């Protein structure tokens, strides 16, 4: 019998592991929302299948899907992908799924954050979002894991940890008035320390340019390993991302992590810039929250990859850079398999491979 606990992970001796630590599984959610995914979600569904297949080479994958799409998803997905009927409002498992914490005794528990569709009634992307907000607890109950209901609004894509006490986030997202307007930086840090057992929070000013999540950190950087970070890098001085990346570099290189290490920063080239085409915009139903119009700049980033069991699954976004990025990832992760998946359809929906996945740590 699972329960929601009224203690905190820190009190109970649990910490959030780094993504490079072993996974028991990866969870995803099936895309079908027609005001976000073009042509009834069909192109996106094909891409989600490709991502699930790639991950499943090294890690078991569970896909949650609505009752109405169950047969379609079962037909499109190979039999080694577990399918589970569950209601959602959209398909960003990183942000709606639980953030897992583990202890040294081989136990794990989920952290269930409040979710408000990236901004609630201030600048959220859709309403209602109650089905999404219920997903984290359902995942924990399905897996038989106890959980904690954290007291703040937070999405999984807005944080990265190294597993050794350091958390990376952006001021743009966590201090945004649409998340926790009654809490200042220190109060938010206290919650992060209580619920993830981190010692130090490194605040990067802004996330990727034109990111509709208010600048999620996982679209700008990725933690390679403790003390080492990949950063989206832009070489064009007239591009708005140029200044954002340099500001981030300055923060990362002038601070130490929780263990006192100087942070080593690796530069990942930025794809594009990429823009929505007329054809792509034409397949999306109109909505109030999401900008899916021709010419809108896409928040494309190679940093939005997933690490799972000695395997990197990264987005193919721009043929000018895709191969070079594969070579960099192979250098930074010696001994890892590196798999690229054509991920433009995920990008058109507002995120990428890291955003649509949530890992469950092995214990």
Q: How many CB atoms lie within 10 A of CB 56?
A: 18
Dihedral of alpha carbons 183, 173, 135, 127, sign: positive
Contacts for 139 with CB less than 8 Å, ≥ 6 apart? 27, 97, 98, 110, 358
CB 264 within 8 A of CB 227: yes
Provide the H-helix boundaries in the chain: 9-12, 42-56, 70-76, 93-96, 120-123, 130-143, 171-174, 185-196, 240-254, 278-282, 322-332, 344-348
CB 207 within 8 A of CB 168: no
- First-to-last C-alpha distance (Å) of the chain: 19
Q: Strands across the sheet with 221-225, in order?
A: 221-225, 228-233, 264-269
CB 129 within 8 A of CB 91: no
The whole-angstrom separation of Cα 272 and Cα 319 is 9
What is the three-state SS of 93-153? HHHHCCEEEECCCCCEEEEEEECCCCCHHHHCCCCCCHHHHHHHHHHHHHHCCCEEEEEEE
Nearest to 86 by CA among 143, 36, 47: 143
- Rounded to 5°, the CA angle 104-108-110 comes to 140
Q: Is 234 a catalytic residue?
A: no
The whole-angstrom separation of Cα 338 and Cα 350 is 23
Of the residues 140, 173, 234, 355, which is catalytic? 355
> DSSP labels for 238-264?
TSHHHHHHHHHHHHHHHSB-TTSPBPE
Residues with catalytic roles: 355
């Amino acid at each position: 019998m699972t329960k929601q606990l009224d203690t905190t992970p820190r009190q109970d001796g649990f910490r959030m592991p780094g993504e490079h630590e072993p996974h028991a599984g990866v969870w995803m959610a099936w895309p079908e929302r027609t005001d976000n995914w073009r042509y009834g979600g069909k192109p996106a569904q094909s891409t989600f299948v490709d991502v699930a297949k790639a991950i499943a080479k090294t890690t078991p994958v569970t896909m949650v899907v609505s009752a109405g799409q169950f047969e379609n998803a079962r037909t499109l997905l190979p039999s080694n992908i577990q399918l589970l009927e569950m209601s959602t409002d959209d398909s960003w498992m990183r942000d709606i799924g639980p953030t897992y914490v583990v202890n040294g005794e081989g136990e794990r528990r989920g952290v269930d954050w409040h979710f408000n569709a990236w901004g609630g009634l201030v600048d959220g992307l859709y309403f209602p979002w109650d089905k999404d907000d219920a997903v984290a607890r359902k995942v924990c109950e399905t897996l038989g894991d106890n959980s904690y209901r954290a007291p703040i609004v937070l999405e999984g894509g807005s944080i990265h940890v190294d597993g050794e006490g350091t958390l990376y986030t952006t001021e743009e997202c966590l201090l945004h008035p649409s998340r926790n307007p009654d809490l200042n930086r220190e109060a938010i840090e206290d919650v992060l320390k209580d619920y993830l057992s981190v010692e130090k929070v490194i605040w990067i000013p802004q996330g990727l340019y034109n990111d509709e999540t208010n600048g999620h950190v996982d679209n700008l950087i990725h933690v390679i390993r403790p003390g080492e970070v990949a950063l989206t890098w832009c070489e064009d001085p007239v591009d708005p991302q140029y200044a954002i990346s340099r500001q981030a570099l300055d923060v990362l290189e002038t601070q130490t992590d929780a263990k006192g290490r100087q942070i080593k920063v690796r530069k990942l080239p930025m794809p594009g810039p990429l823009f929505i085409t007329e054809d792509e915009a034409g397949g999306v139903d109109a909505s109030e929250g999401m900008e899916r119009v021709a010419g809108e700049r896409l928040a494309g980033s190679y940093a939005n990859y997933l690490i799972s069991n000695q395997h990197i699954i990264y987005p193919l976004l721009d043929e000018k850079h895709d191969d070079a990025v594969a070579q960099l990832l192979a250098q930074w992760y010696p001994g890892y398999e590196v798999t690229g998946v054509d991920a433009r359809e995920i990008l058109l929906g507002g995120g990428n491979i890291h955003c649509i996945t949530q890992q469950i740590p092995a214990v």
